Amino acid sequence: MFDLSYQEKSVWGTLAAMVVVYGYYFSAALHDVGRPEFGTGSLGRLIFAVIALIVIQVVYHIALALESRPEPKDERDTLIESKAYRTAYFFLTTGISLLAAAIIVINTFALHSREAWGTVTPFAIVNLILLAMVLAESAKLLTQLFYYRRGLR
């Protein structure tokens, strides 16, 4: 159906691995979001997610290299990658800025409100920062796929 280049196959594999591994991690972390700190189970899940992602990536890229001959990066690949990084940095800075603003607003209301507002826990902050990083990386990969399919203009 599609004739994908080596770089496109690499990006698709990376994106699929991230969705699976971090999808599992964030669905499990959502249950622990009210905890004030990392428990051993939460920290173990985070370490497992990072190690699993590394192992999946290594195995996938070895299999991909054995299946098809890796193509050297050319000027087009470098340009696509730089445009994708620009998108990722935009998503990351926007996500972190919104997160910081939300934490300030929530904690301000918690201090000045008569109602029982909760504060944002360190566990939630760490996971929200990680989520912003994962979304930025996903945006980078999706941007790369877009430019490989559409072409540069």
pLDDT per position as a tens digit, 74-98: 899 999 999 999 999 999 999 999 9
Look up residue 73 and give its two tokens: 């990066």
pTM of the predicted structure, to 2 decimals: 0.83
Q: Is the pLDDT of residue 141 over 90?
A: yes
Distance of alpha carbon 57 from its chain centroid, rounded? 14
pLDDT averaged over every residue in the chain? 86
H/E segment holding residue 135 = helix 122-150
Contact yes or no for 80/152 (Cβ under 8 A)? yes
Max avg pLDDT among 1-15, 22-36, 100-114, 130-144: 130-144
d(CA 76, CA 148): 9
